Amino acid sequence: MTTTQETTTQETTTHTATTAPSLLHLDASIRPTGSVTRELSAHFAAHWRRARPGAGYVHRDLAAEPVPHLTHAVREALLDGADHGEPPQERALSEALTAEVRAASTIVLGVPMYNYAIPSTVKAWLDRLVTPAHMVAPDGGPGPLSGTSVVVVTARGGSYAPGTPREGWDHQEPYLRDVLRSIGLADDLAFVHAELTHANVFPQMASLRPLAEKSLAAAYESLERLAA
Ligand SMILES: Cc1cc2nc3c(=O)[nH]c(=O)nc-3n(C[C@H](O)[C@H](O)[C@H](O)COP(=O)(O)O)c2cc1C
């Protein structure tokens, strides 16, 4: 059984060629400490920044400062840029989130698995970005975000690898792959999964600890390579 899977997509590159090196680092775990995704995303960020002294860096914590759900007025404003009576702070937030993504040459996204999917905080962040301004044609673009490198680091209590009882229940990677592609963020996209994190928590999963350790070690290794 493979407990760590890393998958990449390499297509055209346009955005990175024109963007100064800058890392956007996002976390979404509700655990301020002891979070596997936070540790892994921080590991990637440390290696990435060490390799690029002076590069830009922005960290956004989607759990500590959740992006509010869309309202009709906010969505209308995202669609046409006009004033629809949304509170000024909502417009400012949409603009700040967009500016952060547009300025980034690389994005690392720490995404815990919650109920077989992404945290709602990540969905709320995506809801501000999936707008006509960023959408690319179904054949792949290009769009204003095309060419950005994206690394998605996930952690999950169980395993979703081929041959496991819940093979096919991973609704993180397929969804993120499609939604990121829709806004041009799949040209250079890698997924790194740390699986079986519950093995260290629940005694009934103790026999799976060696697999969990292997998965975590492979995730660190993949991230160092991707950050180089
Ligand atoms: C609300 C919640 C829902 C979860 N749902 C799942 C799940 O569907 N499948 C799974 O394998 N693990 C699930 N887990 C376990 C987490 O994915 C696991 O603890 C992971 O390590 C969380 O990331 P973190 O360590 O960065 O906090 C869930 C945890 C929480 C808190």
Contact 181, 140 (CB under 8 A): yes
What pTM was estimated for this model as a whole?
0.93
Residues 124 and 78 sit within 8 Å (Cβ to Cβ) = no
Radius of gyration in angstroms for the set of CA atoms belonging to the chain, rounded to a whole number: 18
pLDDT, one tens digit per residue, over 38-96 is 999 999 999 999 999 999 999 999 999 999 999 999 999 999 999 999 999 999 999 99
Does 35 sit in the ligand 1 pocket, CB within 6 Å?
yes
Does the C-beta of 197 come closer than 6 Å to ligand 1? yes
Q: Does ligand 1 have an atom closer than 6 angstroms to the CB of 215?
A: no
Whose C-alpha lies nearest to ligand 1, atom 24? 35
Pocket test for ligand 1, best of 26, 113, 120 (most atoms within 8 A of CB): 113
- CA 156 to centroid of ligand 1, rounded, Å: 5
What pLDDT digit, counting tens, does each position of 216-226 carry? 999 999 999 99
3-state secondary structure 116-159: CECCHHHHHHHHHHCCCCCCCCCCCCCCCCCCCEEEEEEECCCC
Set out the domains of the chain in order of their start, with CATH numbers.
Answer: 6-68+103-227 (3.40.50.360)
CA dihedral over 81, 86, 89, 93, signed as positive or negative:
negative
Give the pLDDT score at 83. Answer: 95
Tell whether the model's pLDDT for residue 8 goes beyond 70. no
Tokens, residue 33: 């400490």
Is the CB–ligand 1 distance for residue 218 below 6 Å?
Answer: no
